[in-house]
Structure 1
């Protein structure tokens, strides 16, 4: 089954993403910050099909989460989508040579999200911007 891990400290945003993806046939796990997400990834009996993370969060932000995932699972085969706003565009430089890390611009269209994940599933490429 397709499984996505959503990492966002805003429950209302996570709820909309969760409902959208569940309606499209995805199983969804939500983590309120990067630390909780990392703990889930370490303990989970399944590997997610994709991770979608906000960048600005308490405890462990999206950038730190991505860097930790890269360090602990260098051979991961699932994409990570980082949600950014226009004001956070300068944050993109840190991605550098990281594999399969893509950006999704907020506000995020639910249809674009579903289409992006479906495209990634088929092609392995998912760098779309709405």
Structure 2
């Protein structure tokens, strides 16, 4: 099931989008303004963001810039603005597609599916699986197994592990983890790292008190070590 974050302030439109997206098999999260949308993107880890440009607190272009500061999640802009300059600006800032209001629901669905596919293809062009000791990390399916048994991770746990895995054997600074996993607003919330590192160790390490893979360098950051 793909996850979509809808950042839109029109309640009737949000409701219509929620109903249609869920019927089509999407997992949906919504946010009524830009700031809550950026927080939701960090917490929900969507596969695609559907973003209105005309938000009550931030302009949609500011939200795109905020997202692109730490994530490459596909962004589909949904806007009543039909001026060519608005579209060019949104695309130049990192939006993947631009849909003008009013729109046909089936066309919007197709564009969202296409954006998710492009995001997945981009990830698939990189390493798709990795073996770390008795752990098998599947980036394409966002899954990890230990000694052949699937381990259930929350979206945030997965994002933390994925970042470490893509930097296997290298120290990832605390600020980088916080910005990429939780978002720029959480850059100083270092206690999050201790909590989630402990949760990952309980699920993935043979001896969580003496971890072989998820290693802390005090005051600096975390490393996923290959182990034996």
How far apart, CA to CA, are the structure 2 residues paired with 1:67 and 1:91?
14
Q: 8 Å contact 1:4–1:27 — kept in the other structure?
A: yes
Q: Which residue of 2 aligns with 1:25?
A: 25
Deviates more, 1:11-20 or 1:113-122: 113-122
How many residue pairs get matched? 119
Deviations 1:12-66 (A, max 9, x none): 1111111111010001001001110111223x1x421100011111111211100
How far apart, CA to CA, are the structure 2 residues paired with 1:27 and 1:98?
26
Q: CA deviation at 1:100?
A: 5.0
CA RMSD of aligned residues (A): 1.9
Deviates more, 1:92-101 or 1:29-38: 92-101
Match of 1:114 among 106, 109, 114: 109
SS in 2 for 1:60: coil
Match of 1:64 among 56, 62, 65: 62
CA pair 93-107 structure 1, distance change in 2 beyond 3 A: same
Instruction: Structure 2: state its 5+ residue gaps.
Output: 120-228
CA pair 111-66 structure 1, distance change in 2 beyond 3 A: same
> What's the TM-score, normalizing by structure 2?
0.48
Q: With a CA cutoff of 8 Å and minimum separation of 6, indicate the structure with the bigger relative contact order.
A: 1
SS in 2 for 1:63: helix
Instruction: Structure 1: state its 5+ residue gaps.
Output: 126-130
How far apart, CA to CA, are the structure 2 residues paired with 1:88 and 1:58?
20
Which structure's CA Rg is the greater one?
2
Q: 8 Å contact 1:3–1:28 — kept in the other structure?
A: yes
CA pair 2-86 structure 1, distance change in 2 beyond 3 A: same
Q: 8 Å contact 2:76–2:112 — kept in the other structure?
A: no
SS in 1 for 2:103: coil
